[in-house]
Amino acid sequence: MDHRDAVDAVVVGLLRPLVDQDLSLVFYDLTTIGVTGLSEQSGDVRKYGLAKEGLIARQFMLGVVQTAEGLPIYHEVFDGNQAEAPTLLPTFRKVLARFTHIKRLIVVADRGLLSLDNVDELAKISLPDGTPLEFILAVPGRRYGEFTELLAPIQVRASSATHELIEETRWQGWRLVVAHDPVRAKEKTQWRRERIATLQDKAQQWAGKLDGQDAGVKAKGRKLSDSGARARLDHEVCEAHLARIVKVDLKSDLFSYAVDEGALAQAEMMDGKLLLVSNVADLAERIRAHAMLCFMALIVYRVMRQRLKLAKSELSPERALAQLRRIQRHSVSINAAAPITGISTINTQQASVLAALKLKKPSQDVQLSLL
């Protein structure tokens, strides 16, 4: 790292002719890289944070900016406990400082990288010639509630739509584009209601057991307490990601819960929707492409969940993907010789995931197909 600046200067010089100066569409994302070892050093970037597998682990964050053609043009290493959103602004200031010849730059970032509180700051960034930085940013799902009033008129039309609907309104002076897919909306609503019904059935069973115990009825298994029933239902609700809708009363002496109908109605209004904030003028086709990719990803997720369930696998789609990500294709070339390629060894867990998803083991020249 003693010559990092010199190496960076050479790399930038080589990349600059490859980056379109008239219009550059770039994508930015961060990922977590897990590490092992317990040693600690001054300035260590290895910190404990939330890993992509959903667990707390020692790791560092790697941010990469790449062009629409897949060419990486900048990277940065962050502490393992670094929040994603605050990295967006400084990263693109550095990118613009390196590629001063760019005349127009459009930044595309996913939900994890957008903080609605810093959109104004992002809009203040300008290219070297004074042209404003343009952006297309997905609104984080946790912030959808702030758009309820704006979406109410659109929801009237969306509720009766039979085909994909794309509409636009204004939010704090910015373009707010709303994409709605009625098929996905119906699926999401049905899935949520089924999960709530399942939770209610379990809660009713536990409440019945508690009532029976109070009446002196003996039942099989360990005796259930109100606090135990509360804890079990709260765990089930959190696992189902329904804590905003199914409210378990953790302060009550007796086992009780309630379904927040207002929160349920709001969640159902957001089903099947993708919200994008942008200052780009010619946005329509990009919005459709972004929406299509997101809905394709949703289809893959649902198919994975269905196949894992049918295979009686305890893995979630996220954990299944975490296993499959470890399968890698390598290519090695020494002294200009013909490259040697191969697939990393597939362990028992990975093989069971592939079997559950009804996928063949990958070979060197075949891409995985899920659908």
- DSSP string covering 289-357: HHHHHHHHHHHHHHHHHHHHHHTT----HHHHHHHHTT--EEEE--TTPPPEEEEPPP-HHHHHHHHHT
Total number of domains constituting the chain: 3
Res 370: pLDDT: 42
Same domain, 118 and 199: no
Domain extent at residue 344: 317-356
Same domain? 120 vs 215: no
Q: Within a domain: residue 89?
A: yes
DSSP percent split of the chain into helix, strand, coil, nearest 5: 45, 20, 35
Domain membership flag for residue 272 = no
Same domain, 97 and 207: no
Is the domain of 188 the same as that of 132?
no
Per-residue pLDDT of the chain (371 residues; tens, 9 = 90+): 567 778 878 888 888 787 776 656 678 777 888 887 777 777 788 888 877 666 788 888 888 888 877 788 888 888 888 877 677 778 878 888 888 777 777 777 766 555 656 677 777 778 777 878 888 888 766 667 778 888 889 888 988 888 889 888 888 888 888 989 999 899 999 999 999 999 999 999 999 988 888 888 877 778 889 999 999 999 999 988 899 999 999 888 899 999 999 999 988 988 988 888 888 775 566 667 767 777 788 888 888 999 999 999 988 988 898 888 888 887 888 887 888 888 888 888 889 999 999 888 887 655 444 44
> Which DSSP helix (H) or strand (E) runs through 273?
strand 273-278
Q: How far apart are CA 80 and CA 74, in angstroms?
A: 19
CB half-sphere exposure, 220, CA atoms < 13 A? 0
Distance of CA 121 to the CA centre of its chain: 23
DSSP conformation class of 126? B
Q: Which of 138, 169, 202 is the last residue of a domain?
A: 138
Please tell me whether residues 1 and 134 are part of one structural domain. Answer: yes
Residue 107 lies in a domain: yes
257 and 199 share a domain?
yes
Query: Are 246 and 330 members of one domain?
Result: no
Q: How far apart are CA 298 and CA 360, in angstroms?
A: 22
pLDDT value of residue 369: 47
The vertex-259 CA angle with 162 and 274, nearest 5°, equals 35
192, two tokens? 């949520």
Q: Is the dihedral of CA 72, 73, 77, 81 positive or negative?
A: negative
Both 106 and 14 in one domain: the answer is yes
Residue 365, in any domain of the structure: no
Residue 108 lies in a domain: yes
Within-domain flag for 233:
yes
The answer to the question of residue 99 being in a domain is yes
Closest CA to 148 of 265, 249, 1: 265
Q: Are residues 41 and 120 in the same domain?
A: yes
330 assigned to some structural domain: yes
